[in-house]
Amino acid sequence: MNRITDIKRVITPIDFSENAPLVAESAAYVAGSFKASLDLIFVVQDFADYSGFFVPQINAPDLVQDLYTSAQERMDRFCQDNEAAFKALGVTALTSKVLMGDVAEQIISYVAKEQGNLIVMGTHGYKGLEKIMFGSIADKVVKAAPCPILTINPYTSTLAK
């Protein structure tokens, strides 16, 4: 069993919601405290989850590629905009990755593959219909994660403030 002092890689899923900067900054604070690297990941939701809904006639491969490209551009901007703050918090290395598929499954798979020692993630991201349709990603990850998880409630957190 790993000790808490063995944390060398913190993995943080972000969703680009209004809460993402606070969650990422909190993760950077934790990573910096352990002199650990930080991986930020974003998962483009798999279209298979929408199979019960009406889907208009579109070129699906082009749409998937456009979503992936847009997400990668947004991730690059997010990392660039926050890189100085992450370094100031002591992050030793920053990695970003855009994945595609079921969000919870991809997070868990990435953590296992990359041997993450700690997941730091928000308890709240997007709200409304999306949450009703897909449930809480944080709940699913907490139940199946291969390592400890620190959840951040962005509405009450003072960790990175």
Residue 77, pLDDT score? 97
pLDDT of 125 over the 60 cut = no
The HSE-up count of residue 39 (CA atoms within 13 Å, CB side) is: 22
Which domains does the chain possess?
Answer: 4-152 (3.40.50.620)
Q: pLDDT digits over 39-89, tens only?
A: 999 999 876 555 555 555 555 667 778 899 999 999 999 999 999 999 999
Helix axes of 20-33 and 60-88: crossing angle, nearest 10 degrees: 50
Q: What is the pTM assigned to this prediction?
A: 0.84
Gap between the Cα atoms of 120 and 131, Å rounded: 19
Q: Please provide the average confidence, as pLDDT, over all residues in the chain.
A: 84
E strand map for the chain? 9-13, 37-45, 94-101, 118-122, 149-152
